[in-house]
Structure 1
């Protein structure tokens, strides 16, 4: 019985180490993206300012590949924020999920 408990504990510790390594890699990615986020934040502010200056009936176009596609102003306003912030939100959600998984493994180790 002690052997299987010891084996299970080692497996949990290995799992914890792997999850911690994954979290560490993700945190490094987030750190690298801080500079990119600053650039996006500046770009977001500029885009919002430009859109705020437009009349409601102004023509707004979005560049999709080599084509300009007409949008209404409300849609353009909504898209600007989501287009620029979604990648960072996804990374932060992954980080939160990995931290929760690590906490669960740590709790299982402590219960052994």
Structure 2
């Protein structure tokens, strides 16, 4: 009976460690998603500003400390591509977050069962 209790204790600790690692991954995923949302908002604002300009307007792109003149159509295409990319990445992060949450829910169930078993062994002593 003592061996069974020790085995449950080891399994509980292993599950708890996995649960904590999952929480860390979830936080990283959430942070990445928030950064992507900020980038998306910024790029949408750029696109709105570009809609106000004529196609012959001068646009400059900052590369390091230097401003480089850029073609309007090329700049618009670049911003469109960035918005598409960021949107796909947000979707990917949301899928990852959902998967991590499902794993976390299963881990919680397992931890609850193990904790219940440990309490039963403690009560039997």
Length-normalised TM-score, structure 1: 0.61
Partner Cα distance (1:80, 1:39) in 2? 11
1:22 aligns with 2:25: yes
Q: CA deviation at 1:81?
A: 7.4
Cross-structure match for 1:36: 39
Listed as ranges, the gaps of 5+ residues in structure 2 are 52-72, 75-80, 115-125
The structure whose Rg is larger is 2
Q: CA RMSD in A?
A: 3.0
Aligned residues: 87
Question: Separation in 2 of the partners of 1:28 and 1:92?
Answer: 11
Alpha-carbon distance in structure 1 between the residues aligned to 2:83 and 2:35: 21
Matches within 5 A, 1:1-112: 1-42=4-45, 82-112=84-114
Gaps of 5+ in 1: 50-61, 64-78
With 102-111 and 81-90 compared, the bigger mean Cα shift is at 81-90
Shift of 1:35: 1.3
The CA distance in 2 between the partners of 1:40 and 1:89, in whole Å, is: 17
Return the TM-score normalized by structure 2.
Answer: 0.56
Q: Structure 1: which 4+ aligned runs deviate by more than 2 Å?
A: 39-47, 79-84
* CA drift at 1:80: 9.2
